[in-house]
């Protein structure tokens, strides 16, 4: 698999250290993936219309909020037609309108035979996009199966962790009183 086949949002933000604007960051990423610069007007308009508020594409990316950086990264990567798209919690930023546009774009991507790796703590959001779920714990896979089963496993694991922490806190408080 060549470098241009794997898309990671962080790659789109690499130009921030160079003082690039959003528009220049887009060009930089397109150059990395060897996209031609011909007829990019529609691409720029598509990105700026649904991801970046008017005027921000010409501002330095280093001045963007973390949410705006995530929006730019998602817009750039989702629009270069990758074979694999990795999204790490990008859907948790922005307003409701932006999240709805992201959902629509991801459904379009998933429907176009692209491998979609979605990293999230939101089981409901994962269930809306994914058929399969992998649950990780401390860097190790602890579950791999159907998304509904993965969501149930994850929720049970989180609830068990919360209960264990509650019991530990209560035990510590009891020990403190006894001293």
Break the chain into its structural domains and give their ranges: 3-130, 132-179
**pTM for the structure as a whole:** 0.65
Instruction: Tell me the pLDDT tens digit for each residue of 71-120.
Output: 777 777 777 777 787 887 666 666 777 778 778 888 888 788 888 888 88
Sign of CA dihedral 113, 115, 9, 71: positive
Predicted confidence at residue 52, as pLDDT, reads 60
Q: How confident is the model at residue 26 (pLDDT cuts 50, 70, 90)?
A: confident
Minimal CA–CA distance to 130: which of 143, 140, 142, 119? 119
Predicted confidence at residue 12, as pLDDT, reads 44
Strand partners, 86: 8, 117
Q: Which CATH architecture has domain 3-130?
A: 3-Layer(aba) Sandwich (3.40)
Q: How confident is the model at residue 70 (pLDDT cuts 50, 70, 90)?
A: confident
> Which token pair is 84?
């694999």
pLDDT averaged over every residue in the chain: 76
Cα-to-chain-centroid distance, residue 101: 14
User: Distance (Å, rounded) from C-alpha 27 to C-alpha 61?
Assistant: 13
> Which token pair is 61?
């990316």
Instruction: Tell me the pLDDT tens digit for each residue of 77-87.
Output: 777 777 787 88
């Amino acid at each position: 698999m060549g470098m241009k086949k794997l898309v990671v949002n962080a790659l789109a933000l690499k130009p921030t250290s160079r003082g690039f604007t959003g528009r220049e960051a887009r060009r930089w990423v397109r150059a990395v993936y060897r996209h031609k610069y011909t007829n990019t007007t529609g691409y720029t308009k598509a990105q700026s219309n649904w991801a970046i508020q008017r005027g921000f594409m010409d501002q330095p990316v280093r001045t963007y909020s973390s949410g705006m950086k995530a929006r730019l990264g998602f817009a750039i990567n989702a629009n270069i037609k990758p074979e694999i798209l990795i999204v790490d919690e990008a859907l948790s930023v922005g307003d409701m309108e932006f999240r709805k546009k992201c959902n629509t774009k991801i459904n379009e991507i998933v429907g176009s035979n692209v491998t979609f790796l979605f990293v999230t703590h939101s089981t409901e959001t994962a269930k809306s996009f994914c058929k399969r779920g992998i649950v990780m714990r401390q860097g190790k896979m602890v579950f791999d199966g159907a998304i509904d089963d993965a969501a149930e496993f994850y929720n049970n694991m989180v609830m068990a962790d919360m209960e264990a922490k509650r019991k530990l806190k209560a035990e510590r408080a009891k020990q403190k009183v006894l001293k």
